[in-house]
Structure 1
Amino acid sequence: MKRKAHLFGIRHHGPGSAALLKGALDALDPACVLIEGSTEGDALIQHAALPGMKPPLAMLFYAADEAANAVFAPFAEFSPEWVAMQWALAHGRPVRFIDWPAAVSLALTKAAREERLAALERKAAELTENSDGEDPEEGASEAPTIRLDPLDLLAEAAGYGDGESFWNVLIEQHGSGQSPLEIFAAIEAAMTEARQHQADAGGMSDAEWLREKRREAFMRGHIRDALKQHDGEVAVVIGAWHVGGLRTETTVAEDRAIVKDLPRVKVEATWAPWSDGRLSYASGYGAGVISPGWYRHLWSLYSSDRHDGPEAFAAVWQARTAALLRQEGFDASTASAIEAARLALGLASMRGLSVPGLAEMRDASLSSLCHGDDIPLAMIERRLYIGSRIGEIDEAVPQMPLAKDFELWCRRTRLKPEETASEIKLDLRSEAGLLKSTFLHRLNLIGVHWGRLIDAEAGRGTYREIWSLAWSPDMSVGLAEAFVWGLTIEQAAAAATIDRGRNANGIAALSELVRGALVADLPEAASACIDLLQAAAVQNNDITDLMNAVAPLVRIVRYGTARKLPEPELRALITALSVEVNAGVRIGSRQLDDDAASQRIIAMRAYDEALGLFGDPALLAEWRRQLALLVDDEQAAAPVVGFSLRRLHDLSLWDEPRLSAAFSRQIVGESPTRAGAFIEAFISGSAEVLIQDQTLLFLIDEWLCGLDEEVFVESLPLFRRALTGFDAVGRKRIMERIAGGRKERSAAPDVIEDNPAFERALPLLKTILGMDAHDF
């Protein structure tokens, strides 16, 4: 009689399946255990029994030449595959994976992605050639295939509303007293029938069936090999869906033919921490479960040696619910938790369940602990039902160097990856704060955005930074991708920054890279980017780009004393860039379209502020001279002229008669469009400034009052647009201020008493405000 392997059809991450599987393995005592999974994971199985391996964990398989092409194989402590590995390692039995190699699946994924891109390009070309703009394939698409869930079919036959509920009652919350082997035999019969029904109903496309058949061909090959190598029983742990496929009688030649000539890529495999959130179905994980937190609680019932029974099981869950509610400030007493546990048990009895399920537990919590209010339960839902656990890897497990260095940095900085978003405030004057900041900045440079700066002033390199931290297991792929840049976080960040600098478009991007390298304490990368920036500035004629490059560099020099900076080189670079800006801003401000003029104004405002902070009197004087020349340049773009005149007024460099004359020149005889653009830039800013600045306000008022009716009507929409930046209160106060009329200044100046303390502090105040001596 032909020997057959024992096929144990499980549900991925099902605690009931895991408990049944453990019982089945104990009863069968197989000589060999085979598990559905990529064969490259065989080398990683031995680490599963190490004491430092704390699920949830995942095997990460990624293409050696393209780390972004990756796939995870997650495991929780209640996953049947994890339990199978633990059982085999504890009993000294051979254990290996039998699914198709990740080398094949990743190669096919890459090919499919490239084919989709090529198809999109072909379609775009066809649409371009089709002059009437109609889609040549419109109306020719086939009706989409409706995917039928075999569990839903079984659930319908058994009188359940959906497959999830059916499986949970039958398997995950089992208590029928049947032997595990009998239950798995029943699963095999039911799932084989459901699979056949799906095939007859056309519930899967030809491509999907081909994929499944290829995977099962690989599995059958490994099962045949195991039956030849081992005289004892062979246990095969697979998804219940595959049981019927593996029982299909095929020849070796047929299985080899269907997998012949499949593409492959070189694959690297390692362990990576996973999380409860990524185990959940809500994360988009196809094999996810609705509530990892609940399934962990179920597993505690099945795996405990105490056998406390459903009463303790319900009490622990409701006590946890009450504790979380109290943490959120809600009144949840111990007596209410006891009542909730009793209610859950009563609901389970009424519904024919041996232990309360998630629905019974939730209904009981809602009634007894939340008094029917959904809001308190919703506030703890993620922590209670999903969970917030992130796995840990034993120190003895070989990892890729970047992942190992990442863990060392986490220990040094005492930062622990957590999926729940949290905020940390860093004082860069302390060694601990500066170390954490450096670490997070370096991670951002290699594309691992664990931390995000959320404080407005943090980007200026002050002594204070506020970060928002939220870890995702997908960031492990980012670490794998960054491996091409170096063996450590520091090496990778430096190399990635330099490479990005060599490929940067525009010197503003290079300036940001210089800033990023400096705050990440990468002096060599910063020096390399400074050299690239200097070379690019020589060839760059875009004044806006040059202005945008100055501001971040000045902020670093001005505020970056918490870090070691190449200050002489930075100052020389800022000076060189500023000289180029000052020399070319007038000619470069001619013939600008609306978008270019808008970008120029933003850049001029930032550049003007930066020069004030930089503190070079010669550069500042030349910049202000250029502003005056721009006001008198008839070819300069109107918004640039408006900003320039306004800035000269704000700095009190021009008196009222000169300001009024320049204002009139830009308005009188000009088209409403140009005049409106000038006005919009001239009055931009805070309404409060306009209210307090009598000269500015009544200059505009006199202009409006002097317009004839036709010009006024043409100018009104443009003027209204200029005022849209002011809120309703600001506009109302402006009207009240105009109605009050111009107030004459007193002829006699106010007498200011001498204040020696103020006189001593005045030089420092001027330096802080970035003002010259003649500004007072």
Structure 2
Amino acid sequence: MTTSEQLRVLGIRHHGPGSARAVQRALRAFEPEVVLIEGPPEADALVDLVGDHELVPPVALLAYAPDAPGKASFWPFASFSPEWQALRWAAARGVRARFFDLPAATMLALREQALLPRASADPGPGLFDEEPQAGEEASADDPEDAPAEDIASEVRDDPLALLARAAGYDDPERWWDDVMELRAEGDPFDAINDAMAELRAGEQMRRRSAADELTEQRREAHMRKVLRAELRAGHRVAVVCGAWHAPALTGKLPTAAADNAVLRGMPKRKVKMTWVPWTHSRLAMASGYGAGVDSPGWYHHLFEAAAADLPGPDGSGEDIDAVEPPVVARWLTDVARVLRHHDLPVSAAHVVEAVRLADALAALRGRPLAGLAEVTDATLAVLCDGSRIALDLVTREAVVGERLGTVPDSAPGVPLDADLRATARSVRLAFSAEPKELTLDLRRPTDLSRSRLLHRLLLLGVDWGDPRAVSTEGTFKEGWDIEWRPELSVRVIEAALWGTTVLEAATAKLLDATGSLGEVTSGVEAALRSDLPDALPGLLRALDARAASDTDVAHLLDAFPALVRAQRYGDVRGTDTGRLAEVTEALLARICAGLPPVSGGLGPEAARALVDRIDAVQAVLPLLDDPAAEDLWSSSLQALADRADVQGLLGGRLVRLLTDAGRFDAPESAGRLARALSAGPGRQADAGSAAADQAHWVEGFLAGGALLLIHDDRVLGLVDEWVRGLHDDDFLVVLPLLRRTFGAFEPAERRNLATRTRRLTGATSQPGAPPELGDAERAGAALAMVDLILGLATTETSGVTG
């Protein structure tokens, strides 16, 4: 048997439907006994799963280091990937298939040592094992006019660009579609191999980097080593590899000794492999995947629609190779469905006209059939009515798509992954790449179990769900945005270091992460949310120790809200939080005792930080439903409010909080406001700083809403009188502070304030008193000043200068 009768090398483009159909034809004609496929040989043990009906592409081979799961590589496959179709063909006929690229053990070790260029790190799926630019670097200029370095880069990164240019095309993707993806018959592989051989033999190829050269030599040496072994055994061998490597595997091969010398001394590390789900969006070039394609959704449709009657795994069915015109009609029907899903009006007549336009464009452009460019133009003009926004929907949901593959439970994996999938099935959570909003009612057992699972995964760094706010006053509702992404499979493997079940792993990682008082309290809150009872005793012991030894009141204030929320979560989720209540009570006592020493003589920034912490405690205190705790807290705040050395922002905020809590009535709060603003700054040296401190007091007092100003004319009058009494220079100092205060109010509140201010007769105006404006010009200037403060006018339009 001659070499030509014993070997057939099929140089393909990864993730190309035309290449996939051509591989099917070539394999049926050649009938090999062994199929060698570009990919890591450690995956040979996983080939048998290709015949499992539950292994549905897009999927990927995942190689990871057991001792460092974060070090991993993927080899993705779609239904239209030629390698996948070769695997399926071999599985259906009982033909032995194996991978013959450089081992993943070596690839990961080289990457770890920074000896492998990033573009070559995932060699299996790469178009020509580097990152193709899809014509982005292609030029209509004569290649002879380009620098040799640029030509070398173009040849290696995208051989299609030069081949397309030689054929008279300015777009490599369009040329490839015409000659391969839309090809209805024939065997293109000999021509492809010859073209690649010419490109590889060029002078420019000797200008590549040493790292690229060495990596490629090693990969091709390993491929030849496996190929020689199969040929010596007398097998008929079909090779499916990236077209760039095809010339290195045909003709007269280098000696085995030469290849062994290239392979000698390569590093290795222990690896494991499995199948994991993948998505079409991760096959897209826009995702950063080097061997990606622009339109995985379109390619999937192109392959599946044209090959609907091709032989299945059992070998049944009719052979249909041609891409029939109904493919375009079916595609545009699917596009119409996408648009209707977004409530855009698209009729059957629109689809008919779009098909006609696509066919006409193909004829005008001299293409064998309408390709993606033609159907996209027709979609934009007819179905989207010229709207680029609607076309973006089509691109995202149809042209790219978000199809997620599935992997059978029999695929090897870490125990944690098996537990995750079993738990997800028990709570009816599906692994889907489609973003979905989920609102959980924690009073329902299934929703409560879902919440616990998602919270536990967050602790493990597997953010399948992202918490979102829910518009409800109760604590029984919880919102999530869930979306399963392929990289989460790697994070599950990383998390497997903590345990064999989600519960066990989350508990172990949470206990290991304890640190500062704030971190421990956050851990307690997370433990209650996630229902990790075994973690609570250790966390509470750590909490006792940190709370007793930490003398920083800021740390205590930061820790308190999380503890209070943790108690409420325990109530909602049916968890015993009695021990936690004791710690919370003791912590509040320490906060109240420690506040006075740290509250005096603060600067504006330090005071603002303390105000934020006091607000956080005030917001959660009602959740305790403990009158004694609220009384202790309010008494402490009142003692601070009576001090003269408290910075203005803090003083004003304390008075407002005590007013809202009912400790100060309206006359008392108005009197404190009047005293804070009564000492006019005059024009002494520190007048500007005094006015600023008064403005800070007002800011603290009014923070949180304008209701106090709206419903109490005395308070509003005091603020108005103070503003009108400011000197021009002082007004310029306080204006930014006042704009920040009033700008935080709702527009309706600001309009209401403006209306009420216009009715004021002075600082002591009483409700219902008739307006006595006096001099119209002075009144107009004052009202314009109020509009300026409230953000309803600008200095340019108001005419106010002081």
Deviations along 1:627-675, whole A, 9 cap, x unmatched?
A: 1222344444443333223222333424535863586368748842444
Aligned to 2:275: 271
Q: Distance in 2 between matches of 1:708 and 1:386?
A: 64
The residue that corresponds to 1:96 in the other structure is 98
Shift of 1:210: 2.3
1:740 aligns with 2:760: yes
1:53 aligns with 2:66: no
Residues 1:436 and 2:445 aligned together: no
CA distance in 2, matches of 1:491, 1:610: 31
Q: Does the alignment pair 1:287 with 2:303?
A: no
Q: Does 1:527 align with 2:537?
A: yes
Give 3-state SS (helix, strand or coil) of 1:519's partner: helix
Look up the equivalent residue of 1:359 and give its one-letter code. Answer: A
What's 1:464 paired with?
477
Distance 1:736 1:361, change over 3 A: closer
Task: Please name the residue that 1:605 is paired with.
Answer: 615
Q: Give the whole-Å Cα distance in 1 for the aligned partners of 2:613 and 2:572.
A: 27
Following the alignment from structure 1 to structure 2, what is the Cα–Cα distance between the partners of residues 420 and 239? 31
- Distance in 2 (CA, whole Å) between partners of 1:457 and 1:565 is 25
**Displacement after TM superposition at 1:198 (Å):** 7.6
CA separation of 1:296 and 1:732: change in aligned 2, threshold 3 A: closer
Partner of residue 504, structure 2: 491
Cα distance in structure 2, aligned partners of 1:12 and 1:421: 28
Q: Is the 8 A contact 1:33 1:93 kept in 2?
A: yes
Distance 2:292 2:662 in 1: 66
1:718, distance to aligned residue in structure 2 (A): 4.5
Structure 1 residues 167 and 641: CA distance shift in structure 2, 3 A: same
1:242 to 241, 245, 254: 245
Pairing partner for 2:552 from 512, 517, 542:
542
RMSD of aligned Cα (Å): 3.1
Q: Cα 1:690–1:85, aligned 2, differ >3 Å: closer, same or farther? A: same
Shift, 1:526, TM fit: 3.2
1:426 alignment partner, SS class: strand
CA separation of 1:224 and 1:406: change in aligned 2, threshold 3 A: same
Change (3 A) 1:725 1:367: closer
Aligned to 2:201: 196
Which 10-residue stretch deviates more, 80-89 or 713-722?
Answer: 713-722
Q: State the match for 2:707 in structure 1.
A: 688
1:461 and 1:519 in contact (8 A); partners too: no
466-475 vs 295-304, which moves further: 295-304
Q: Secondary structure at the match of 1:37?
A: coil
Unaligned segments of structure 1, at least 5 residues:
117-142, 747-776
Q: CA deviation at 1:486?
A: 1.0
Structure 1 residue 303: Cα displacement: 5.5
In structure 2, the residue corresponding to 1:487 is in which secondary structure?
coil
Partner of 1:664: 675
State the secondary structure of the residue aligned to 2:531. coil
Alignment equivalent of 1:206, drawn from 210, 220, 225: 210
- For 1:52 and 1:424, how far apart are their aligned partners in 2? 27
Q: 1:115 to 1:642 in 2, by over 3 A?
A: farther
Match of 2:145 in 1: none
Cα pair 1:151 1:162 within 8 Å, conserved: no
What are the Cα deviations for residues 159-189 of structure 1, in whole angstroms up to 9, with x where unaligned?
11122222221111113x43x2xx2111100
Partner of 1:650 in structure 2? 660
Within a 5 Å distance, the mapping from 1:39-50 to structure 2 comes to: 39-50=41-52
Q: State the alpha-carbon separation in 2 of the partners of residues 319 and 52 from structure 1.
A: 28
Structure-2 separation of matches of 1:518 and 1:201: 63
The residue type equivalent to 2:333 in the other structure is A
| 1:74 to 2:88 alignment | no
Deviation at 1:344, TM superposition (A): 3.7
The change in CA–CA distance for 1:214 and 1:660 in structure 2 (over 3 A counts) is same
- Residue 227 (structure 1) aligned to one of 200, 225, 231: 231
Q: Indicate if the aligned counterparts of 1:649 and 1:659 stay in contact, CA closer than 8 A.
A: no
Which letter maps to 1:495?
A: A
**Is contact 2:154–2:161 with CA below 8 Å preserved after alignment?**
no
Residues 631 and 662 in structure 1, CA contact (< 8 A), matched pair in contact too:
no
TM-score by length of 2: 0.82
Counterpart residue type for residue 337 of structure 1: V
Deviations 1:337-395 (A, max 9, x none): 34443444454445444443222333344455445555544333322212232111123
Kindly report which structure 2 residues correspond to 1:56-455, keeping only aligned pairs within 5 A, or say none: 56-112=58-114, 146-148=153-155, 149-175=158-184, 177-178=185-186, 180=187, 183-197=188-202, 199-200=204-205, 202=207, 204-228=208-232, 230-247=233-250, 249-300=253-304, 301-302=306-307, 304-305=309-310, 307=320, 310-370=324-384, 372-455=386-469
> What amino acid is the match of 1:234?
V
The answer on whether the counterparts of 2:117 and 2:212 sit within 8 Å (CA) in structure 1 is no
Q: Distance in 1 between matches of 2:425 and 2:669?
A: 64
Secondary structure class of the residue paired with 2:113: helix
Aligned position for 1:763: none
Secondary structure of the equivalent of 1:220? helix
Code of the residue aligned with 1:614 in structure 2: it is: L
| Mapping for residues 502-521 of structure 1, pairs under 5 Å | 502=514, 504=515, 506-521=516-531
Matches within 5 A, 1:20-35: 20-35=22-37
Query: Contact between 1:461 and 1:556, CA under 8 Å: does it hold in 2?
Result: no
Q: Is the 8 A contact 1:453 1:468 kept in 2?
A: yes
Q: Which shifted more, 104-113 or 162-171?
A: 104-113
Cα pair 1:16 1:171 within 8 Å, conserved: yes
**Could you tell me whether the CA contact under 8 Å between 1:31 and 1:231 is conserved in 2?**
no
Q: Deviations over 1:696-729 (max 9, x none)?
A: 3344345446666775665555545544434666
Rate the CA distance shift 1:26–1:709 in 2: closer, same or farther, 3 A: closer
Aligned pair in 2 of structure 1 residues 294, 642: CA closer, same or farther (>3 Å)?
same
Alignment CA distance shift 1:679-1:198 (3 Å): farther
Match of 1:6 in 2: 8
Give the one of 744, 750, 757 matched to 1:725.
744
Structure 1 counterpart of 2:256, one-letter code: V
Alpha-carbon deviation of 1:115? Answer: 12
**Aligned AA for 1:29?**
E
Taking structure 1 as reference, are residues 47 and 643 closer, same or farther at Cα in structure 2, changes over 3 Å only? same
2-structure distance, mates of 1:239, 1:323: 36
* Higher mean C-alpha deviation, range 236-245 or range 539-548: 539-548
- Give 1:664's aligned amino acid: R
Runs of 4+ aligned structure 1 residues displaced above 6 Å come to 113-116
User: Does the C-alpha gap of structure 1 residues 77 and 192 become closer, same or farther in structure 2, counting only changes over 3 Å?
Assistant: same
Q: Which amino acid aligns with 1:740?
A: L
CA separation of 1:652 and 1:414: change in aligned 2, threshold 3 A: closer
Residue 491 (structure 2) pairs with residue 482 (structure 1) = no
Please say if residues 32 and 235 of structure 1, whose CA atoms lie closer than 8 Å, have aligned partners that are also in contact: yes
**Paired residue total:** 710
Percent identical residues:
38
Q: CA separation of 1:371/1:585 partners in 2, compared to 1, >3 Å: closer, same or farther? A: closer
In the alignment, what sits opposite 1:619?
629
Letter in 1 for 2:708: V
1:629 matched to which residue of 2? 639
Secondary structure, in 3 states, of the residue corresponding to 1:310?
Answer: coil
Q: Unaligned stretches of 5+ in structure 2?
A: 119-148, 311-317, 769-802
Q: Distance in 2 between matches of 1:616 and 1:480?
A: 45
Secondary structure at the aligned position of 1:6 is classed as strand
CA distance in 1, matches of 2:755, 2:490: 61
Instruction: Check whether the contact 1:106–1:265 (CA below 8 A) recurs between aligned residues.
Output: yes
Distance in 1, Cα, partners of 2:379 & 2:505: 50
User: Residues 367 and 709 of structure 1: is their aligned pair in 2 closer, same or farther, counting only changes over 3 Å?
Assistant: closer
Check conservation: 1:311, 1:341, Cα contact below 8 A: no
